[in-house]
Amino acid sequence: MPGKLKARIVAGRHLPVMDRASDLTDAFVEVKFGNTTFKTDVCPKSLNPQWNSEWFKFEVDDEDLQDEPLQITVLDHDTYSANDAIGKVYIDIDPLLCSEAASVISGWFPIYDTIHGIRGEINVLVKVELFNDLNRFRQSSCGVKFFCTSSIPRCYRAAMVHGFVEELVVNEDPEYQWIDRIRTPRASNEARQRLISLMSGELQRKIGLKVLEMGGNAVVGYLQCFDLEGESGLVVRAIGTACTLDKISSGSAPGTTTHVHPNTAPASNACNSPSKDGKEPVFGEDLPSSSGPPAHFRALPTSSSSPPPFSPSKPCSRQSSSSDTDLSLTPKTGMGSGGSAGKEAGPLKTLLRQQTQTALEQREFPFFTLTSFPPGFLVHVGGVVSARSVKLLDRIHNPDEPETRDAWWEEIRQEIKSHAKALACHAVVGYSESTSICEEVCILSASGTAAILNPRYMREGCLDMGSSDHRFEEPSPPSCGFCHIPYDELNMPFPAQLTYCYHCRRQKVPDVLFTTIDLPPEAAVTGKGCLIQARLCRLKKKAQGEVNAMAISNLLPFMEYELHTQLMNKLKLRSMNALFGLRIQISVGENMLLGLASATGVYLTALPAPGGIQIAGKTPGDLSNEHHILTIQKRINDTITKNKDLYQINPPELTEEAVGSPIPEPRQRSRLFRSHSESSDELSELDLSHGKKDAFVLEIDDTDAVEDIHSLLTDAPPPSGFYSCNTEIMPGIYNWTSGLQMFTSVRVFRLSNANLTNQGLSKIFTDLCENLLKSLYFKLRSMTPCCLCHLNFAVAVPEEELIQVTVTAVAMTFDKDQTQEKPGEKVIAKGAGETEEQLQFSLELCADTSAANLQSAKISGAPESANISARASSVDYGSFADRCSTWLELLRLKAHTIRRGSVKTSRRTQSLAHSASSLDRSSPLPEGRSRSLRSNRSFGCSSVTVVKMTPLSYLPGTRIIKYLGIINMFFIRETTSLREEGGVSGFLHSFIAEVFAMVRAHVAALGGNAVVSYSMKECVLMENPNKNQAQCLINVSGDAVIYVRDTDQEPLPAVTTIGQTCSGGTDGTT
């Protein structure tokens, strides 16, 4: 009995009228956990009941604590008939199980009903008392922290990165069970919500167990997905990166001044101050299993104790681009060719590679879901690796042994691994998995970026990494090192144009680089980045079963090829040479396939300037045709010039002869990093045919080329004042102000014309995306200058002839005046500034250690960064977001005015965060913090905490001081009165607003004031207008955090942390 859960129901408000006669409600509450249920008294005739219940105590296993949610049901008491349910609240108590996260959940939760939506609110208090359990064979993994954030969270540093963890659980979907033929849709939807909540809990617990097994204490980049397979069941799966994280004691957080340059200092501490941190990773030595994890790693999970056998029951229903990968791949690129590595840095490279190999090759899957890394972690980047496979779904016979699903993913991961090997890389970073399901066909996709990593974060118990490893980093400066090719120049996995790095001139770089990760903060870029999308539609005959699967898998390689070509062309059109955050989605519908590739284009200073695009006709000599070609060529050239201007791409002129001249020469041929092309015969043929021509000569007699040109030229640049990207970091913008607007936009488009061609369809799809972007720009016009960051498009084909596009992003304002700075200089200047700052810091420390002094020292010591923050803060003072965070004060103020008739204006502009942090200072205990924040909030009884939401891992102008736990919520909403609710748009609009409200309420109840790394994983809408019905499922996740504004005083920096900062600073200079 290792845990006691306590819950108290305080009060309700804004309840709906349940008794028409009296216009009132007799409400009571049922509190359920596991199989135990408690009830409150009935609070008669009130819409704002006060229950003030006793503490309901549940004595439970911690295993249950992790799996089960706390269920709170509000009911209307009825003497004569059955009690009516008003609605429910599910509370995930996981954040309470970790000592570093929240200590109590307390606040107003919206009461949610699947039919009526939010119906009033209920005030609940939840606490957990956990007893230490030393049982080694325990089933629970309490205390393992989960983060959606796909970088090392702000107030932690990574002592060790263990690697890939994955798990999936399977169950029958209640909606497809026999009982649903007799129970109401509402009951079955509630059953679904409950089940998924339970499954997510179970999944997290199991992943946590694996993490403990590996010796870690946290999962970063946790990505959980649902596959609604319909009749064949419900799959919940998750992947993540196991890490050992050490908390940086509050107050130091050296990354504060630079939101764009996260975790610079703390991470480098990790290796350089063994005196202090030395004892932490010992942890790893204690557990014998972690020193040799690979063997256990896979064997442990669920039930498949041996590597799952390839399921023979399903005669190969998939034929994706990369069947039989291992066969075709291994011979191609003489693996482990360390000996024949590049001449220049040969020995070092080899040594490094060997080291990395030992660290990584033991792992079954050297995958990392991280997209942004501590400096020095990422050594080289090879290119994008991806694999897809088409499967036919069949009923999962035994949910406890989801072998088939496991085997499917296993297969794909193996493929990815071998692709990475083909690029001479040992690891895959920025790794993600996804599915698209239509009826019984399912496309499984995985993609990532092949890379070579510095092994020092992965070596168990290795503390002497300091100096020797540093020498390895030396040859590749951080601003360009990752661009240098990891593969062997003489034995390239694919034809590519190599040149010497334009930054360091010492090693070779490719002419283009595609990756799925974020732009490394230290990378040198020229100009600004922008969102680049490739969109494509392909018609497909309706079919059943294997024929259908076959048709789809035949289409896939062509689609990928075209998407890549489009991306490449659009990249050239913008004069850029690298893509980050590349995400390719292929969605399957009954009669079409949709492909959408999104990425952030950027000009990497280290890479050669891209060539232009040349148009050629197939039949030279035809005069009218020639003229046509000339006009198109002119338009393209004009666009390139315009884009260079727009994105401020003016690379420094090279004194020596430029290797990549702006005019496309015949020999300059750029190839895509499409490793899967190597693995499939048909594709390599395709590649060859393409290879005969110049990659950037578009022949306009070709119908495909017409389409290409069309899609090239229809992309309108964003209106002035707007920038966009789909990554965490917007290349070229560094001076964010605090204006912030997260949003979700959904569009469904009906194709009325059944006889569309591929081109027609693609055009419609392109227009749909473009118009959506235009709408977003228009909506957010009041925020300019701003950047839409983390623009995440999700496409689906919910029904025949319907295309659904869902976008979630955040608009962030920035200070226009400072954008002109050259990023390269900026990085250097910044580094210097930081060092200076920290040095001064320590000097000050000797003289006087009072907090106030430190504060001033900091500002004076870092002219560059202080300047920025000062200016930024002066801007955001009057900004919208600032005003947002002062609601509380204003409202309270208002209440004052009304009651006393006197106005106090002195504290008006103080923000919530500000007051929270000032309270913090008086209570240095971490628990005290959240409590003081809460008491502060509840004081202003009538107001609601402002909760910011962002898909990014940071909030500009602020510092995250505490992670409170993961938010992972699943909701279903249904209606039988669609018209009355304003049609599908009205229905979905209110549902999304409700989901936001529930997320905010949960975060506020945890004591937080923001959600970072927020994402909407799933938004499945089903409608039947004829029956006036609709149903929608939404799954959202993120990390609940407490942030304070940068401008606020730091709460009591401890002496130890200052020491840390210093060593971090010196580290930076070496």
Partner 1 sequence: MAVELDVFVGNTTIMDEEVYQLWLDGYTVNDAVKVRMEGGVLEDYDASADVLLSDTMDQYRTFQMCERLLYSPAKLANQLLFQIPPHRQTMLIERYYAFDDKFVREVLGKKLSKGTKKDLDDIGAKAAVTLKSCRRQFDNFKRVFKVVEELKGPLVENIRQHFLLSDKLARDYAAIVFFANNRFETGKRKLHYLTFQDFAFCAGQLINNWTVGAVGLTELSSPDNMVEDMDVDLDKEFLQELKELKILITDKDLLDQHKSLVCTALRGKTKVYNEMEANFKNLSRGLVNIAAKLTNTKDVRDFFIDLVEKFIEPCRSDRWTAGDMRLYLTHYTNSAHILDTFKHQVVWDRYMGVIKSCIFKMYHD
Contact call for residue 944 and partner 1 (CB under 8 A): yes
Q: Give me the DSSP letters along 911-960.
A: -HHHHHHHHHHH--SHHHHHHHHHHHHHHSTT-----EE-SSS--TTEEE
Minimum CB–partner distance for residue 49 and partner 1 (Å): 16
Contact call for residue 898 and partner 1 (CB under 8 A): yes
Among residues 777, 814, 970, 1043, the one that binds partner 1 under rule CB under 8 A:
777
For 500, half-sphere exposure in the C-beta direction (CA atoms, 13 angstrom radius) is 11
Among residues 38, 176, 500, 749, the one that binds partner 1 under rule CB under 8 A:
749
Distance, CA of 64 to CA of 427 (rounded, Å):
36
CB 320 within 8 A of CB 553: yes
φ/ψ of 865, rounded to 5, equals -75, -35
Among residues 446, 748, 791, 868, the one that binds partner 1 under rule CB under 8 A:
748
Among positive and negative, which fits the CA dihedral 313, 316, 320, 323? positive
Stretch that binds partner 1, among 3-11, 172-180, 241-249, 746-754 (CB under 8 A): 746-754
Which string of x and - marks every residue 2-41 that binds partner 1 (by CB under 8 A)? -----------xx---------------------------
Stretch that binds partner 1, among 248-256, 567-575, 739-747, 921-929 (CB under 8 A): 739-747
Contact call for residue 937 and partner 1 (CB under 8 A): no
Which string of x and - marks every residue 54-93 that binds partner 1 (by CB under 8 A)? ----------------------------------------
Contact call for residue 909 and partner 1 (CB under 8 A): no
Who contacts 598 (Cβ-Cβ below 8 Å, separation ≥6)? 531, 532, 533, 581, 582, 583, 726, 791, 792, 793
Stretch that binds partner 1, among 45-53, 175-183, 410-418, 877-885 (CB under 8 A): 877-885
Distance, CA of 55 to CA of 190 (rounded, Å):
26
Distance, CA of 310 to CA of 180 (rounded, Å):
34
Could you tell me the strand order of the sheet in which 27-33 lies? 36-39, 27-33, 70-76, 84-91, 105-113, 117-130, 3-13, 56-60
- What distance, in Å, lies between the first and last C-alpha atoms of the chain? 53
* Paired tokens of 1008: 């937080």
Distance, CA of 471 to CA of 285 (rounded, Å):
26
DSSP state for residue 618 in the 8-state scheme: S
Please name the residue that has the structure tokens 């056998």. Answer: 309
Nearer to partner 1, 686 or 895 (CB): 895
* Paired tokens of 960: 């995250």
Contact call for residue 540 and partner 1 (CB under 8 A): no
Please give the helix or strand (H or E) that residue 998 lies within, else none: helix 983-1005
Question: Interior CA angle at 452 toward 259 and 606, to 5°?
Answer: 60
Distance, CA of 387 to CA of 1018 (rounded, Å):
22
CB 944 within 8 A of CB 989: no
* Paired tokens of 984: 């599908």
Nearer to partner 1, 842 or 910 (CB): 910
Who contacts 946 (Cβ-Cβ below 8 Å, separation ≥6)? 884, 885, 887, 888, 912, 1009
Among residues 742, 795, 796, 1005, the one that binds partner 1 under rule CB under 8 A:
742
Contact call for residue 750 and partner 1 (CB under 8 A): yes
Minimum CB–partner distance for residue 742 and partner 1 (Å): 4
Among residues 324, 626, 982, 1022, the one that binds partner 1 under rule CB under 8 A:
982
Minimum CB–partner distance for residue 259 and partner 1 (Å): 19
Nearer to partner 1, 465 or 802 (CB): 802
Q: Give me the DSSP letters along 384-396.
A: EEEEEEEEE----
CA nearest 937: which of 107, 241, 240?
Answer: 107
Q: Are strands 948-949 and 1010-1024 parallel, antiparallel or unpaired?
A: parallel
Among residues 634, 779, 907, 979, the one that binds partner 1 under rule CB under 8 A:
779
Which string of x and - marks every residue 798-837 that binds partner 1 (by CB under 8 A)? ----x-x---------------------------------
Stretch that binds partner 1, among 188-196, 909-917, 929-937, 980-988 (CB under 8 A): 980-988
CA nearest 64: which of 5, 136, 144, 134?
Answer: 5
Stretch that binds partner 1, among 126-134, 611-619, 862-870, 984-992 (CB under 8 A): 984-992
For 342, half-sphere exposure in the C-beta direction (CA atoms, 13 angstrom radius) is 21
Among residues 880, 910, 921, 936, the one that binds partner 1 under rule CB under 8 A:
880
By CB under 8 A, the residues from 702 to 721 that bind partner 1 are 716, 719-720
Nearer to partner 1, 457 or 814 (CB): 814
Distance, CA of 128 to CA of 942 (rounded, Å):
28
Contact call for residue 755 and partner 1 (CB under 8 A): no
Minimum CB–partner distance for residue 89 and partner 1 (Å): 12
Among residues 261, 391, 572, 948, the one that binds partner 1 under rule CB under 8 A:
948
Among residues 362, 771, 936, 1028, the one that binds partner 1 under rule CB under 8 A:
771
Stretch that binds partner 1, among 207-215, 576-584, 648-656, 991-999 (CB under 8 A): 991-999
Residue 557 is which amino acid? Answer: P
Nearer to partner 1, 110 or 1065 (CB): 110
Q: How many residues bind partner 1 (CB under 8 A)?
A: 66
Contact call for residue 108 and partner 1 (CB under 8 A): yes
Cis peptide before 785 (omega within 30 of 0): yes
192-212 in b/e burial notation, b at 16+ Cβ within 10 A?
Answer: bbbbbbbbbbbbbbbbbbbbb
Contact call for residue 425 and partner 1 (CB under 8 A): no
Contact call for residue 628 and partner 1 (CB under 8 A): no
Nearer to partner 1, 727 or 1009 (CB): 1009
Residue 428 is which amino acid? Answer: V
By CB under 8 A, the residues from 780 to 799 that bind partner 1 are 780-781
Contact call for residue 989 and partner 1 (CB under 8 A): yes
Contact call for residue 500 and partner 1 (CB under 8 A): no
Minimum CB–partner distance for residue 769 and partner 1 (Å): 13
Minimum CB–partner distance for residue 991 and partner 1 (Å): 9
By CB under 8 A, the residues from 651 to 680 that bind partner 1 are none
Residue 661 has a CB neighbour count (10 Å cut-off) of 13
Contact call for residue 994 and partner 1 (CB under 8 A): yes
Minimum CB–partner distance for residue 1000 and partner 1 (Å): 7
Minimum CB–partner distance for residue 718 and partner 1 (Å): 9
Contact call for residue 884 and partner 1 (CB under 8 A): yes
Contact call for residue 949 and partner 1 (CB under 8 A): yes
CB 95 within 8 A of CB 954: no
Contact call for residue 397 and partner 1 (CB under 8 A): no
Minimum CB–partner distance for residue 942 and partner 1 (Å): 5
Contact call for residue 753 and partner 1 (CB under 8 A): yes
* Paired tokens of 806: 């869902």
Minimum CB–partner distance for residue 803 and partner 1 (Å): 9
* Paired tokens of 158: 């990574």
Among residues 185, 475, 986, 1068, the one that binds partner 1 under rule CB under 8 A:
986
Binding site for partner 1 (CB under 8 A): 13-14, 108, 110, 118, 121, 716, 719-720, 741-753, 764, 771, 774-781, 802, 804, 880, 883-884, 886-887, 890-891, 894, 898, 942-944, 946-949, 982-986, 988-990, 992-994, 996-997, 1000-1001, 1021
